[in-house]
Amino acid sequence: MQQQEELEKEKDWLGAFPINDMKKYGWLPDTKEKHVLVDSLLKFFCVASTDEWERIYVDKEVSVAFRVSLAHTQSPHAISAWLRKGEIQSKEIEIAAFDKKKFKDVLADVKELAFSMPKDLTQQLQNICAKCGVAVVFTQNLPKAPISGATRWFHNKPIIQLSGRFRTNDHFWFTFFHEAAHIILHGKKDIFLENVKGTEIDQAKEEEANVFAAKILLTENELQKIIDAVPLTEEIIFDFAKKFRTPAGVIIGRLQHLKLIPFSTGNSFRQKIDLFN
């Protein structure tokens, strides 16, 4: 009887995950055998039971290594799967010992990467960060887990996990520099999930990360020079982009965010970024 109850519990647990998408992405085997999928999912999370998964991801008294409980999120199962995939991906990247100063210094190189947008930008971004001890991974979004980015420390290694959710260069690079800010400015014990209700830790830290990212992409002085040039023509925007080595789409995004131009203006300046095609 107890064994039957346990099997039912495992099936219910399995049913809460976006299994079809996880199979499509190759995270789980392409089978309909539920016992095989349950076993594969337990191995995916590196846990012995569904109870252990609950203790790690849902219980309010979570471990020091994972300072956010997903209990108050809409879909802890999908979010936990996305995060776990990032951990698995990070193990596949060979990285140096973490060097905060070196990482902060190379962000200028990353900004140049954002401006030049080479075809292998994801590989270059990974390589630049790996040399400073930071693992950057790219993970497809799952249904009910529309996360644009996350930052955390895993086995004493900082991870920046990106989904490329909005698929435009201004969103992508702002998210990257926002996550980089968490690593540089904030502690090892917190986990930061972007665009996930129910996981907010410290709004002040989020605002610090926003300011950090904004200033790297466009300093206050540079922004003021652009504002002073309003009304802007296409030629002027491209001139500023070239002068400041900042993508034109980022300039448009900032002006829209500050409500200096309508959200319907300048969207053609944004470059598409599709991480998985």
Collect contacts of 238-247 with beta carbons under 8 A, ≥24 apart: 241/115, 244/218, 245/111, 245/112, 245/115, 246/111, 246/114, 246/115, 246/217, 246/218, 246/222, 247/114, 247/115, 247/117, 247/169, 247/170, 247/173, 247/271
pLDDT, mean of each 10-residue run, the chain (277 residues): 74 95 96 94 95 84 57 84 95 96 97 95 97 97 90 92 92 96 90 74 86 96 91 88 96 89 86 89
Residues 218, 246: Cα–Cα separation, whole Å: 7
- Does the reported pTM lie above 0.85? yes
Identify the pLDDT of residue 114.
96
Identify the pLDDT of residue 9.
87
Strand 157-162 to 135-138 pairing: parallel
Identify the pLDDT of residue 195.
72
Per-domain residue ranges of the chain:
1-57, 63-217, 220-269
Identify the pLDDT of residue 66.
57
